[in-house]
Amino acid sequence: MKYPARPATTPPQLPEWDPAWSRIVEAPTSDGTHAFHVLDTLPALRAAGVEPEGTIVALHGNPTWSYLWRRLARATVEAARSGGRVWRLIAPDQLEMGFSERLAHAAMPTPKSAEVRRISDRISDFDAVVTTLFAEVAGSAAAADRSACSESSEGPESHPIVTIGHDWGGVLSLGWASRNTDIVSAAISLNTAVHQPEDAPVPAPLRATLAGPMLPTATVLTDWFLRVTLNLGDLDAETKAAFNAPYQSAQERWAIGNFVADIPVDANHPSDPELQRIGADIAAFDKPALLVWGPKDPVFLERYLRDLRQRLPQADVHRFETASHLVSEDHDVAGLVLDWLDAQFGTSADTTTGSADGTTPKGTPAPSGTAASAKDSASDSDADAAPVRAVTAILDARRDDETIASVDFAQNPAQQITWRHLWHVTTSIANGLLDLGVKPGDRVSMLVPPGNNLTAALYACLKIGAVAVVADAGLGPKGMTRAVTSADPQWIIGELPGLTLARAFGWPGRRISVSPLGPVRSRMFNTETSLTALSKTAHRAELPTPAPGDYAAILFTSGSTGPAKGVRYTHRDISSLAAVLTRTFNVTEGTGLVAGFPPFALLGPAIGATSVTPDMSVTKPKTLTATAIADAIIAGRATMVFASPAAYTNVAATASAMDEQQRAACAQVELVLSAGAPVPLPLMDAIAEVFPNASIHSPYGMTEGLLLTDIDRAGVAEADATGGLGVCVGRPIDGVELALAPIDDSGDSADELIQGAQAANRLGEFVVSAAHIKSGYDNLWRTTADSARDDLHGLTWHRTNDIGHIDDAGRIWLEGRLQHVVTTARGPVGPGGLEALIDTDAEVSRSAVVGIGPAGTQALVAVLDAEATSLTPGVAPLDLTARLREQVLEVSGHDLTAVLVAPEFPTDIRHNSKIDRSRLAAWADGVLAGGTVRGRV
């Protein structure tokens, strides 16, 4: 059958679409002049009385159209109206797609069709439309006059041009940008692909579509391909209908099949040479770039992002971990893009701009792609900064010391190693890694539990500048898969359980086992060698020396408030942390440290302490017993113990099982530290019975800053006596600056930071600055940007997301997390403060305070956990409700609308900040509306 031509037209009325954006543009292409439908915000901007200060040119993929960019269009217009930089958005529908012109065709599209529109044609089409529009604005039809494309005689610096693309529009727009670097200032791409590896299969959904007769059936004769694509995003029925609008008939869908037919899946495809040229051109593009990624995409897999990062090492990356192919439908990509453009070019034409040349405004995140970017971002400050002791300096200085450096009770029997042996082993492994091909900056995933093996692997990597990737096994297989995949390590070092997970879930990286596995299991797990074998490598005369600003480690958060984030630490950051720990707690070389808290289990060689790993499961802190910790103290002659509150709870509960020697060892401990959650006074009292001569401290910190404030047992008792609201975590330690970002009536924290008397007793978000704070989040450009403040004392600040207040004595009181603020008519409330008060009642095991109703007028509802209590799910007993309401009103001035008892709390957690409050709030709302009480929350 023959399809007749169809003229270009403008879309009907569609949700989120402004008809004023639509126009038809006649552009001279390689096969004649054709009509393109174009989304162009210039008329809307001029109607608002503003002129563009920059231009974004956008290109959709297959089978979408310019409707994909509607939210970016609206965001640019709204930003211009509010005084931000004025960006014009130009987004053409590709020829024969969307509402652009349809050509006449004589055959269905097949991979061999002579009428397939090739990649080179599509780039030419894009260039024709953009050049036509630029020439139109410049008042000249001379398309060859490339200076017209800048829309300014002052050049691209005064009027930046930025490309953005998605799907196959991503590679096409990147190709166009790389061939027009005289006018293009930056490039952005959403999920796309440049190179199909020869040793990897084409993704299954695409392979099925390309299979013989399936191509026309799936893409043209039916809307199957279109429907499957639209199901890869969080789209409602109206939005799906809008994307479907240009593709109602087979004639209108001809280009969908045409586009699929032109996908080069191997070197024999007619478009493969052009795609290879585009790939080479992109690798030469040295302007700022941003890669936005939805990891759940079944077509554009992680290997394609890896390839893009290798071609664009300067690129910033932001992964939306829960997003799929249509990432801009699932998340606020428009806001991310404008934030990134502000960081690159300033908010308006008269703002000092920043770019990859080092003039980026202070506080703007550095590129996140490679170790080199960390070095570049720190190079300017390295020369002027105070000298930093290398992380491995103490280990290297004690290379001939025969005293005990580490004891590992996780091995049976317990293994002791000397400083001399540890230095020798780490140096040999470092040399072996280099011989194997590990390069400075390579990422190495550590799938090894704390102990001597992990210490050896970690410090070997630190010696050569490889980056250790550490994800807590407590994240579970899915959480660890997401974490390791996002970090994209080149190497994996693992024990059998870790290697098994890596094999089962397809984690990236060449494999190294801890111990030799034998030929059969080596093939099964695809391991190349073992740490045991590497430990026999001869030493080189000199190892590479990492710079202070080079990345040293990526540590993943607990994942309790969303997908776990990779926190980047440089060598300077870790050295600063070691110095803080040494200074704050008077750790001297030779001190024995029992480390039952994983983040600090690895710092022993950096602070010169003898580290002892007790017999326990790292992912289950409650497996640490009093006898196990006592044996560890004896083995390391330890005077310091570091563990989590959950671990100490079990230590106190099992203390009666200790013998006299073990009790005597515990009595010799001078310092007990607990981290991971605030420690209530009753638990501190119980700990004091186990360690009667120790000073008991509860430092406050997080993965992004492992040590920020400190409080001891006497301080907790003193604070509790004041009746303060929340959990007191003491005062900032030496070297930590702390400020408050006040919370407004909408529940947001202000941009303004306050300190001292101005901040006293005000609810706000805690913001900290210290030398040992993280250097950013890995592959999360926007998260890094949002977490940084630099508007007080010229310091770079980290937003903790923790809320609370500072009392008149300068003590820090935690009252929950920013996202859990309840916005009542009387003002914002930190739920953690009320929960700490409610939890003191004898009938309550734990509680969660949630807000019900519209923001700004929310009702406060206390939800109690029925577990381990005599309470029955439903409405709490009247006497308990009255007692709690009176107590909350007296202390806080707020009234509880209701007190409910939930049959269960959503997660098995260690402390209240880990409760899934959104689920509890939904359950409470349903109960108060007359719904069922029982059942899963």
User: Quick check: is 735 in a domain?
Assistant: yes
Distance CA 546, CA 461 (A): 10
Give the model's pLDDT for residue 52: 95
With a cut of 50, say whether residue 376 has pLDDT above it.
no
Please, are residues 471 and 441 in contact by the beta-carbon 8 Å criterion? no
Please, are residues 159 and 152 in contact by the beta-carbon 8 Å criterion? yes
Cα 44 to Cα 39, 59, 138, 152, 362: the distances in Å are 11, 20, 18, 20, 33
Distance CA 185, CA 159 (A): 9
Give the model's pLDDT for residue 410: 81
Q: Which residues of 120-144 are buried (b: 16+ CB within 10 A; e: fewer)?
A: bbbbbbbbbbbbbbbbebbeeeebe
**More reliable by pLDDT, 69 or 623:** 69
**More reliable by pLDDT, 535 or 562:** 535
Q: In the listed set 761, 790, 819, which residue is the last one of a domain according to the structure? A: 819
Give the model's pLDDT for residue 147: 46
Distance CA 716, CA 375 (A): 42
Give the model's pLDDT for residue 131: 95
Give the model's pLDDT for residue 234: 86
Give the model's pLDDT for residue 908: 40
Distance CA 906, CA 613 (A): 32
Distance CA 502, CA 512 (A): 11
**How sure is the predictor about 109, in pLDDT bands with cuts at 50, 70 and 90?**
low
- The side-by-side arrangement of strands in the sheet containing 847-852 is 847-852, 859-865, 898-902, 874-875
**How sure is the predictor about 374, in pLDDT bands with cuts at 50, 70 and 90?**
very low
Any alpha helices (H) in 739-823, and if so which ranges?
781-787
Any alpha helices (H) in 437-540, and if so which ranges?
452-464, 476-487, 496-505, 518-525, 531-534
Say which range, 199-208, 249-258, 904-913, has the weakest mean pLDDT.
904-913
Give the model's pLDDT for residue 140: 37
**How sure is the predictor about 106, in pLDDT bands with cuts at 50, 70 and 90?**
low
With a cut of 50, say whether residue 382 has pLDDT above it.
no
Give the model's pLDDT for residue 796: 86
Based on the domain organization, do 812 and 841 belong to the same domain?
no
Distance CA 647, CA 615 (A): 12
With a cut of 70, say whether residue 357 has pLDDT above it.
no
Based on the domain organization, do 761 and 844 belong to the same domain?
no
Based on the domain organization, do 725 and 865 belong to the same domain?
no
Nearest CA to 925 out of 839, 822, 838 is that of 822
DSSP 8-state secondary structure symbol assigned to residue 780:
B
Based on the domain organization, do 116 and 203 belong to the same domain?
yes
Nearest CA to 589 out of 737, 347, 397, 877 is that of 397
**Rounded (5°) CA angle 708-712-715:** 105
User: Quick check: is 121 in a domain?
Assistant: yes
Distance CA 345, CA 236 (A): 35
Phi, psi (deg, nearest 5) at residue 568: -85, 130
Average pLDDT, the chain: 88
Give the model's pLDDT for residue 5: 85
User: Quick check: is 78 in a domain?
Assistant: yes
User: Quick check: is 409 in a domain?
Assistant: no
Say which range, 19-28, 61-70, 132-141, 365-374, has the weakest mean pLDDT.
365-374
pLDDT tens-digit series, residues 696-738: 999 999 999 989 999 999 999 999 999 889 999 999 999 999 9
Distance CA 452, CA 468 (A): 16
Give the model's pLDDT for residue 653: 95
Q: What is the CATH number of the domain that holds 866?
A: 3.30.300.30
Number of domains in the chain: 3
Based on the domain organization, do 779 and 855 belong to the same domain?
no
Based on the domain organization, do 850 and 908 belong to the same domain?
yes
Distance CA 124, CA 28 (A): 9
Any alpha helices (H) in 654-770, and if so which ranges?
660-667, 681-690, 713-721
Give the model's pLDDT for residue 924: 93
| Cβ contacts of 400 within 8 Å, gap of 6 or more | 420
DSSP 8-state secondary structure symbol assigned to residue 93:
P
Tokens of 61: 């993929």
Give the model's pLDDT for residue 108: 56
Based on the domain organization, do 930 and 783 belong to the same domain?
no
| For residues 5-22, average pLDDT | 94
Phi, psi (deg, nearest 5) at residue 323: -90, 155
pLDDT tens-digit series, residues 290-310: 999 999 999 999 999 999 999
Give the model's pLDDT for residue 522: 96
Q: What is the CATH number of the domain that holds 790?
A: 2.30.38.10
Give the model's pLDDT for residue 192: 97
Give the model's pLDDT for residue 381: 44
Percent of the chain at pLDDT exceeding 70: 89
Give the model's pLDDT for residue 384: 46
Give the model's pLDDT for residue 793: 80
Give the model's pLDDT for residue 199: 64
Give the model's pLDDT for residue 378: 40
| Cβ contacts of 327 within 8 Å, gap of 6 or more | 166, 190, 191, 233, 292, 293, 294, 297, 320, 333
Based on the domain organization, do 58 and 198 belong to the same domain?
yes
**How sure is the predictor about 139, in pLDDT bands with cuts at 50, 70 and 90?**
low
Give the model's pLDDT for residue 882: 97
Tokens of 329: 């439908």
pLDDT tens-digit series, residues 775-829: 999 999 999 999 987 777 878 899 999 999 999 999 999 999 999 999 999 999 9
With a cut of 60, say whether residue 180 has pLDDT above it.
yes
Q: In the listed set 313, 345, 377, which residue is the last one of a domain according to the structure? A: 345
User: Quick check: is 32 in a domain?
Assistant: yes
pLDDT tens-digit series, residues 296-354: 999 999 999 999 999 999 999 999 999 999 999 999 999 999 999 999 998 775 444 43
| For residues 637-661, average pLDDT | 94
Q: What is the CATH number of the domain that holds 74?
A: 3.40.50.1820
Tokens of 439: 């390069």
Q: Which domain holds residue 922?
A: 821-937
Based on the domain organization, do 796 and 920 belong to the same domain?
no
Give the model's pLDDT for residue 366: 38
pLDDT tens-digit series, residues 868-916: 899 999 999 999 999 999 999 999 999 999 999 999 887 643 333 467 8
Give the model's pLDDT for residue 156: 54
